[in-house]
Structure 1
Amino acid sequence: MLRKSLLLLVALMSLAISAVQAQEAPSPVGIDTVCGEGALTIIALDEMPEDATTQALDTILRQLVTLPTDELPPLSAVQPKPPAPGAVIFVDSPEGRYFRSIGAVDIESCAFVNPAMGFPIGSNTKMFTAAVIFQLHEEGLLSTSDLVSQYLPDEIALWDGAESITIDMLLGHTSGLPDYLDSQDPMTLGGRYEADDWDVLGQTYTPQELVTQAASQPLVFAPGTEAQWAYSNTGYIMLGQIIEQVTGKTYIEAVTERVIERLGMANTVLVADFPPAELGLATQYIASPFTVNTSGWNFTQAWSAGNAVSTPEDMAIFLRAYYTGALYQNPETLEAMMTRAAPGNTLESEDFYYLHGGYYKGGFLGHGGQTLGTESDVGYHPATDTVVVTWANSSESGTGRGIYHIGHALGITPTWDEVYSNLPAVASQPTFEDVVGLTLELSGVVVAGTQEQKAPAEGSTYSAIFNADGTMNIVADCNTVMASYTTGDASAITIELGASTRVACPEGSIADDFLNVLGEASGYSIFSIGDLLLVVIATPDQSNVSFTTAQ
């Protein structure tokens, strides 16, 4: 039960508490600070009239690359993101085409971003992978209901209880397979990135190695459990392996022939390892203030889950074909692809849910992609025949929810903040008032830069009580501490530690770590899981303490 609780916490924290931390990340800067006001010049490859819609889209471009101000507030209040060096917005509809960029391709030359340039599309590649799987299903070379163990018996055997996983579950992220990028093992790719070990950027990995590294973690849930969903790059690596086995061709050959060449996507390529210089990609960064250059990333680390480079215009070609069934022979295939993967999942709503190889986003059909140096969002709106593509050369950017930001400016979608607030897991989320007066018992402490949660020693006591008058009672192993707290908007919290007893605690005590995190607290999240309340208090550097209490 606790394992599942913590996994749910991770999923929810990616939507909630990380937003508070993103706001307080060390020294974010806008590209205008780095390259001057000239970097805010908007480059247009269109002849759109300067009407209200055009002006709204221009404003979004500026918001993507600058720090918030009173005149330019953040695109999202619940999930703010730091500025990117450069960004592109492409909108193609019967009313016309908006095709513009802002910012810089790198922070050294500060050269303008060309709206038409190619970019690593990250997990948007999964749509290519899914398209080929459904084609093979139509051709009778496989069935999406097949057990994955028919094709990859040794890999499925890495997990207890994985025997019932089907291809369909891989397509819809309902297999319960853990994501290899989430591994905390310091020897794995995920663990090394977690430790900010950037030497791993250029390392080559085989698909088999990626799957094996995922097996350092157990299944997230039993395969196919109703209403359960967990994004898994591991599953899409397996789909690539199945494509190779069934077609007798490499993954790159199969997708190139069946999707890219078939649709005439002349500026789209699947990268085997490192992108060739002739692709002319922008320099890529983790996040503002752009201190980590990730342009040397090895695409084998994503393979069939994210190794494509494309352009906005090519993605428009693909999205219209993919979501109208042009890549398939039978209407039933498109219908199967468009089926909601996990009805009842509390992290989804009627305006936001996963299909089988794509997302539904407020009327748009698309996906989204994040690499170690880009973030993008793409979508096709069938009712208006509108395509939206947006990307930025930073892995943390407002482009990640671009369909909602841009769709709202077009009068098509709700805002992301509206969608987020209506997610069942968020709408039913307890408030801070629900924990006031309760005794919160410590589950563990995570200190930034470490790879493990430190749990209290058996027999020790760590607890906190938030009193209604703004005071706190804290027990930190062998000492009691008085404190005060203040809460604010967007789940912000500050804690001021006060008088304390000064008993020497036994060796191995985590009291110092516990109190240090509380004293640096900046944000909190509270979740209801069964009969438990799970409370997480975090710092700007992503240290955290987690508590549980009976409701």
Structure 2
Amino acid sequence: MVAQHGKAIYQKAFGKANLELGVDLTTKNVFQLGSMTKQFTAVAVLILEEQGKLNVTEAISKYIPDYPSGDKITIHHLLTHTSGIKDFTKMKSLSSIAQKDMTPKMMVDFFKNEPVDFLPGEKFEYNNSGYVLLGYIIELVSEETYEQFIKNHIFDKLGMSNSYYATDRQIINKRAYGYHKKETGFVNKTVINFSVPFSSGSLMSTIADMLKWQNALNQNLLLNVKETQKAFSKYKLNNGSDFTYGYGWHIKQINGTPTREHGGSIFGFKTMGIYIPNKDIYVIGFSNCDCNSPTKITTDIAKLALEKLK
């Protein structure tokens, strides 16, 4: 989908939503978002900050007292991938829990005693564990489950009626099925329990709902201007050098024009969304095979839109 000034100007689907049933994809299909979930987690934290219930400068030990070196790791470090905490997706023991029903505390306990990769604020390294911790903090502070918080404060508020916390059990209307590609052809995606990626990658949505999300951010429907700017600012490491990540978005450029972008990858699905603020252009691509990343085509279309749309 390509949208400008809040309205879709092009949208199209290619291929199959379900290979076994031979059902074509449509632009209304529901896809797993993977790490685009992090946008929602970051905004949920900022909603709580705006409500006065937490502060991003606070140490995580305030909420999780027994977290190792938690007095040196702030919520800001988690949001910006600068905490140095071990990313649980890189742990060899991940397969032992991948299909288990995990509580957020169990997930945190799974990685919290791993050796750190670096000291907080020393470098930027993309990290799913930090966003699992954020989901846990959201639950502790709000006294709602992460799923309830996102539904009550974001999805329901914005009319994102085809967006969900992912499930393989519940009947999801217009669900796109996810696939891997092997040498012998396509196979159904590997099953994981969504309590494992949790707030780092467990949401589902449609392109139309994601446009509602993008428009709501622009119109400050969820956050005031000051909190919104925190999500889209660049920050500095301890040594004063810049890095290109805000809170839940990569802060980049296309041919010198600033962009806010984020992709996602989870078994069977890959996603990419690019927003160009000064032209109010939003380009989003979803794939229901993790063999096909939509990043290049979404970026190429964003470049085209930038040239063609005034």
**How does the TM-score come out when normalised to structure 1?**
0.51
Residue number in structure 1 paired with 2:227: 333
CA distance in 2, matches of 1:126, 1:396: 22
Choose which of 48, 55, 61 in structure 2 pairs with 1:136. 48
Choose which of 312, 317, 334 in structure 1 pairs with 2:207. 312
Whether the aligned pair in 1 keeps the contact of 2:281 and 2:305 (CA below 8 Å) is no
Residue number in structure 2 paired with 1:52: none
Whether the aligned pair in 1 keeps the contact of 2:56 and 2:76 (CA below 8 Å) is yes
- Secondary structure, in 3 states, of the residue corresponding to 1:299? coil
Whether the aligned pair in 1 keeps the contact of 2:17 and 2:25 (CA below 8 Å) is yes
CA distance in 1, matches of 2:284, 2:238: 29
CA distance in 2, matches of 1:136, 1:113: 37
Tell me, yes or no, if structure 1 residue 260 matches structure 2 residue 155. yes
**What is the identity, as a one-letter code, of the residue corresponding to 2:211?**
A
Residue number in structure 2 paired with 1:297: 192
Whether the aligned pair in 1 keeps the contact of 2:177 and 2:288 (CA below 8 Å) is yes
Q: What is the percent sequence identity of the aligned residues?
A: 27
Residue number in structure 2 paired with 1:104: 16
Choose which of 270, 277, 300 in structure 2 pairs with 1:405. 300
- Secondary structure, in 3 states, of the residue corresponding to 1:377? strand
Tell me, yes or no, if structure 1 residue 211 matches structure 2 residue 122. no
Whether the aligned pair in 1 keeps the contact of 2:32 and 2:202 (CA below 8 Å) is yes
CA distance in 1, matches of 2:238, 2:58: 24
CA spacing shift, 1:344–1:380, aligned 2, 3 Å: farther
Residue number in structure 2 paired with 1:220: 117
CA distance in 2, matches of 1:298, 1:267: 21
What pairs up with 1:459-470 in 2 under 5 angstroms?
none
CA spacing shift, 1:255–1:238, aligned 2, 3 Å: same
What pairs up with 1:176-187 in 2 under 5 angstroms?
176-184=84-92
Residue number in structure 1 paired with 2:80: 172
- Secondary structure, in 3 states, of the residue corresponding to 2:279? coil
**What is the identity, as a one-letter code, of the residue corresponding to 1:150?**
K
Tell me, yes or no, if structure 1 residue 233 matches structure 2 residue 233. no
Whether the aligned pair in 2 keeps the contact of 1:323 and 1:380 (CA below 8 Å) is no
CA distance in 2, matches of 1:212, 1:103: 41
CA spacing shift, 1:380–1:152, aligned 2, 3 Å: same
CA distance in 1, matches of 2:204, 2:45: 20
- Secondary structure, in 3 states, of the residue corresponding to 1:410? helix
Task: Please say which structure displays the higher CA radius of gyration.
Answer: 1
CA distance in 1, matches of 2:251, 2:202: 22
CA distance in 2, matches of 1:218, 1:137: 30
1:40-82 CA-partner distances (Å, limit 9, x unpaired) = xxxxxxxxxxxxxxxxxxxxxxxxxxxxxxxxxxxxxxxxxxx
Residue number in structure 1 paired with 2:58: 146
What pairs up with 1:375-454 in 2 under 5 angstroms?
375-411=270-306
- Secondary structure, in 3 states, of the residue corresponding to 1:301? coil
CA spacing shift, 1:274–1:96, aligned 2, 3 Å: closer
Pairwise CA distance, 1:308: 1.1
Whether the aligned pair in 2 keeps the contact of 1:125 and 1:304 (CA below 8 Å) is yes
What pairs up with 1:49-60 in 2 under 5 angstroms?
none
Pairwise CA distance, 1:334: 1.7
**How does the TM-score come out when normalised to structure 2?**
0.87
CA spacing shift, 1:147–1:307, aligned 2, 3 Å: same
Choose which of 100, 113, 116 in structure 1 pairs with 2:25. 113
Q: Using CA pairs below 8 Å that are at least 6 residues apart, which structure has the higher relative contact order? A: 2
How many residues align? The count is 300
CA distance in 2, matches of 1:308, 1:354: 21
CA spacing shift, 1:116–1:236, aligned 2, 3 Å: same
**What is the identity, as a one-letter code, of the residue corresponding to 1:112?**
D
CA spacing shift, 1:376–1:275, aligned 2, 3 Å: farther
**What is the identity, as a one-letter code, of the residue corresponding to 1:131?**
V
CA spacing shift, 1:205–1:311, aligned 2, 3 Å: same
CA distance in 2, matches of 1:252, 1:151: 19
Whether the aligned pair in 1 keeps the contact of 2:64 and 2:70 (CA below 8 Å) is no
What pairs up with 1:62-81 in 2 under 5 angstroms?
none
Tell me, yes or no, if structure 1 residue 249 matches structure 2 residue 144. yes
Pairwise CA distance, 1:407: 1.1
Pairwise CA distance, 1:408: 2.0
Whether the aligned pair in 2 keeps the contact of 1:379 and 1:389 (CA below 8 Å) is yes
1:185-225 CA-partner distances (Å, limit 9, x unpaired) = xxx22x56xxxxxxx76432222232233246311110111
1:503-548 CA-partner distances (Å, limit 9, x unpaired) = xxxxxxxxxxxxxxxxxxxxxxxxxxxxxxxxxxxxxxxxxxxxxx
CA spacing shift, 1:177–1:96, aligned 2, 3 Å: closer
Pairwise CA distance, 1:288: 4.7
1:460-507 CA-partner distances (Å, limit 9, x unpaired) = xxxxxxxxxxxxxxxxxxxxxxxxxxxxxxxxxxxxxxxxxxxxxxxx
- Secondary structure, in 3 states, of the residue corresponding to 1:368? strand
1:213-258 CA-partner distances (Å, limit 9, x unpaired) = 3246311110111xx1111111111111111111111111111111
**What is the identity, as a one-letter code, of the residue corresponding to 1:335?**
Q
Tell me, yes or no, if structure 1 residue 279 matches structure 2 residue 173. yes
- Secondary structure, in 3 states, of the residue corresponding to 2:12? strand
- Secondary structure, in 3 states, of the residue corresponding to 2:180? coil
Whether the aligned pair in 2 keeps the contact of 1:323 and 1:365 (CA below 8 Å) is no
CA distance in 2, matches of 1:258, 1:178: 30
1:11-66 CA-partner distances (Å, limit 9, x unpaired) = xxxxxxxxxxxxxxxxxxxxxxxxxxxxxxxxxxxxxxxxxxxxxxxxxxxxxxxx
Whether the aligned pair in 2 keeps the contact of 1:377 and 1:402 (CA below 8 Å) is no
Residue number in structure 1 paired with 2:34: 122
Residue number in structure 2 paired with 1:359: 250
Whether the aligned pair in 1 keeps the contact of 2:279 and 2:306 (CA below 8 Å) is no
- Secondary structure, in 3 states, of the residue corresponding to 1:253? helix
Indicate the RMSD between aligned Cα atoms, in angstroms.
Answer: 2.5
